[in-house]
């Protein structure tokens, strides 16, 4: 694992300063929720959906810039 530095609200930082092993706050349940949400997002943002969105943005940009389609 790679250690990271983050900024937290003061009340959360104060609470964590009182705990040994801050990483214990990342529980198995929390990881399961995050993994489930990421799976939902991956299912929603398929390569086809991303491609369609890119094409739509390109078309809109061309129209705004006055380029032919």
How far is residue 9 from each of residues 6, 13, 15, 22, 54, measured CA to CA in Å?
10, 6, 10, 15, 36
pLDDT of residue 29: 78
For residue 19, name the pLDDT band (cuts at 50, 70, 90).
confident
Mean pLDDT confidence for 35-47:
94
Q: Where are the domains of the chain?
A: 25-69
**SS3 (DSSP) at 6:** coil
User: Is a pLDDT exceeding 60 seen at residue 69?
Assistant: no
User: Is a pLDDT exceeding 90 seen at residue 49?
Assistant: yes
For residue 1, name the pLDDT band (cuts at 50, 70, 90).
confident
User: Is a pLDDT exceeding 90 seen at residue 65?
Assistant: yes
């Amino acid at each position: 694992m790679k250690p990271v530095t983050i900024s937290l609200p003061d009340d959360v930082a104060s609470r964590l300063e009182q705990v040994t092993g801050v990483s214990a706050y990342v529980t198995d349940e929390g990881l399961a929720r995050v993994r489930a949400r990421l799976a939902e997002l991956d299912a929603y943002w398929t390569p086809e959906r991303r491609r369609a969105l890119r094409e739509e943005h390109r078309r809109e940009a061309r129209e705004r810039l006055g380029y032919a389609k």
